[in-house]
């Protein structure tokens, strides 16, 4: 019997380096809109919750969730780990996948691989982040809800863990109950910058989204267009 799986998108409007980035428009949709479209091509909208803060600045994100027919949870701006768990509880699933609200280049193949590992029920924590063999901004992390709950007391009292959600779960020894997915398909893509944090990142993202073939968001295509943009900038 496979496990139930849901997705928690963590987002806020008050980004210091790129304010309002979650709802900035490129290639015909908002950043969050593109992410939700990618997710709903794989997982039912009822299994997705947008977890944002209860600050007035995030009212627009709640409106976005309502318009896209996905659930919204609002909690503490700074206690993100607790916000993640509360949103996961709303979904009532065995596993929660954490996606950042600026993860514009989410790879559907990677997401499917993580969902498959969740369905197997073999691991408590699944991630492609350790060792950064994938590009930055292409992170997918999944955790068994019960496993996260066991660690929640520690997360609550550690401000760094609470802010960074999953950081306290990482273990360099790669324990048997953890699964770390590695990029062996395209090693040269390891660690390249695809995260959406700065105006320069925005310019790159706009160009890539406007030029990549529609629906082609796999690692190979994304890397190809990131390199094309890099070559244009360097001219």
- Topology of domain 5-234 in CATH is Spore Coat Polysaccharide Biosynthesis Protein SpsA; Chain A (3.90.550)
Give the whole-number percent of the chain exceeding pLDDT 90. 72
Q: Tens of pLDDT along 151-176?
A: 889 888 988 888 888 888 887 667 88
Q: What is the pTM of this model?
A: 0.92
At residue 6, the pLDDT reads 95
Distance CA 81, CA 69 (A): 24
Say what angle helices 219-234 and 199-211 make with each other, to 10 degrees. 120
Report the 10 Å Cβ neighbour count for 100.
19
Taking the domains of the chain in order of start, what are their residue ranges? 5-234
138 in Cβ contact with 194 (< 8 Å): yes
At 177 the pLDDT is 92
What is the H or E stretch that residue 64 is in? helix 59-67
pLDDT in tens, 96-152: 999 999 899 999 999 999 999 999 999 999 999 988 999 999 999 999 999 999 988
């Amino acid at each position: 019997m496979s496990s139930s799986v849901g997705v928690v998108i963590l987002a806020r409007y008050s980004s210091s380096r790129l304010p309002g980035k979650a709802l900035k428009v490129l290639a015909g949709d908002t950043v969050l809109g593109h992410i939700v479209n990618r997710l709903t091509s794989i997982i039912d909208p009822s299994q997705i919750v947008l977890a944002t803060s209860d600050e007035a600045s995030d009212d627009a994100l709640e409106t976005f969730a309502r318009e896209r027919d996905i659930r919204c949870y609002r909690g503490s701006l700074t206690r993100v780990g607790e916000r993640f768990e509360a949103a996961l509880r709303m979904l009532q699933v065995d596993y929660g996948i954490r996606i950042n609200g600026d993860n514009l280049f989410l790879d559907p193949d990677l997401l499917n691989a993580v969902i498959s590992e969740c369905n197997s029920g073999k691991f408590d924590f699944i991630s492609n982040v350790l060792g950064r063999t994938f590009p930055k901004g292409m992170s997918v992390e999944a955790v068994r809800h019960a496993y996260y709950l066991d660690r929640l007391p520690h997360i609550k009292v550690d401000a760094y863990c609470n802010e960074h959600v999953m950081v306290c779960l990482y273990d360099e020894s790669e324990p048997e109950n953890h699964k770390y997915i590695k990029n062996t398909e395209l090693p040269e893509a390891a660690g390249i910058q695809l995260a959406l944090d700065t105006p320069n990142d925005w310019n790159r993202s706009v160009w890539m989204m406007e030029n990549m073939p529609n629906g082609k968001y796999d690692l190979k295509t994304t890397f190809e267009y990131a390199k094309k943009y890099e070559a244009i900038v360097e001219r």
